[in-house]
Amino acid sequence: MRREKCGFWGWFAAAVFYPLSWLVARPRYEGREHLPARGGALLVANHISYLDPVYTALWVHSARRMPRFLAKASLWKVPLFGTVLRGTGQIPVHRDSADAQQSLRDGVTGLAEGKIVVIYPEGTISRDPDGWPMHARTGAARLALAGDVPVLPVVHWGTRSVYDHYNRRFRPLPRTTVTVRAGDPVDLSAYRDKPVDATVLREVTDLLMNRCKELLAEVRGEPAPAGFFRRAGDPS
DSSP string spanning 84-98? Answer: HHHHTT-EEE-TTST
| Mean pLDDT in residue range 84-93 | 89
| DSSP symbols for 95-155 | TTSTTHHHHHHHHHHHHHTT-EEEE-TTSSS---TT-PPBP--SHHHHHHHHS---EEEEE
Residue type, 145: L
Question: Would 234 be classed as within a structural domain?
Answer: no
> Cα 125 to the chain's mean position, in Å?
11
226 falls within a domain = no
Domain with 208, as residue range(s), is: 7-220
CA–CA separation, 1 vs 12, rounded Å?
Answer: 22
Count of the separate structural domains present in the chain: 1
Specify the CATH number for the domain of residue 58. 3.40.1130.10
Give the Å distances, CA to CA, from 122 to 48, 71, 146, 205.
10, 12, 19, 10
Using an 8 Å Cβ cutoff, are 129 and 136 in contact? Answer: no
- What letter would DSSP give residue 73? G
* Residue 116 maps to a domain: yes
- Structure confidence by residue, pLDDT tens digits, 171-188: 999 999 999 999 999 999
Report the interhelical angle of 7-24 vs 52-61 (nearest 10°): 120
Residue 82 pLDDT > 90, yes or no?
no
Q: Looking at the domain assignment, is residue 225 inside a domain?
A: no
In a domain, 229, yes or no: no
First-to-final CA distance of the chain: 44
In a 10 Å sphere around its CB, with 0-12 CB exposed, 13-18 middle and 19+ buried, how is residue 226 labelled?
exposed
* Residue 1 falls inside a structural domain: no
What's the farthest any 2 CA atoms get from each other in the chain? 51
Q: Is residue 2 part of a domain?
A: no
SS3 for 213?
Answer: helix
DSSP 190: G
pTM: 0.94
- The pLDDT value given to residue 72: 84
pLDDT at 94: 79
Predicted local distance difference test score (pLDDT) of residue 7 = 84
Answer whether residue 205 is part of any domain.
yes
Q: Name the pLDDT band for 1 (thresholds 50, 70, 90).
A: low
Q: Give me the sign of the Cα torsion angle 74, 79, 83, 85.
A: negative
pLDDT (tens digit per residue) in 102-141: 788 889 999 999 999 999 999 999 999 999 999 999 999 9
